[in-house]
Amino acid sequence: MRKSSLKRFIVRLVTKPYDKAMLEALDSMGRIHKAVNVDLVHMHALLAFVQDAILTEVFKMDTDTVDCEAAEGSKRDGTARAFCKVLAVLNQFISAWYEEVKENNSL
């Protein structure tokens, strides 16, 4: 179950448009995992695993259709940077669910 859920998540991450529904799905990741008592450190470890898996595939990309070597590196670098940014946003969505709510009196 966990592996299939992770696989569906990664497929969605790289194939679906980043619209309101995607942002809601990213936000729900933290809510769902906090509700079942998954520690934040484990969520961060999973994101690191996902990032490594995606970047490994990005750097194996076939760029035969690109004419010059400099453009190949640029295409790979841009794709890698984009996924790192997406995962950073996901990290923020997840972490927000784990922050303790501070009361106004505890300044």
Encode pLDDT of 8-29 as tens digits. Answer: 888 888 888 989 998 898 899 8
Using alpha carbons, select from 19, 26, 82, 25 the residue that is nearest to residue 54.
Answer: 82
Backbone angles phi, psi at 106, to 5 degrees: -100, 60
pLDDT tens digits, one per residue of 72-87: 567 888 889 998 999 9
- pTM here? 0.74
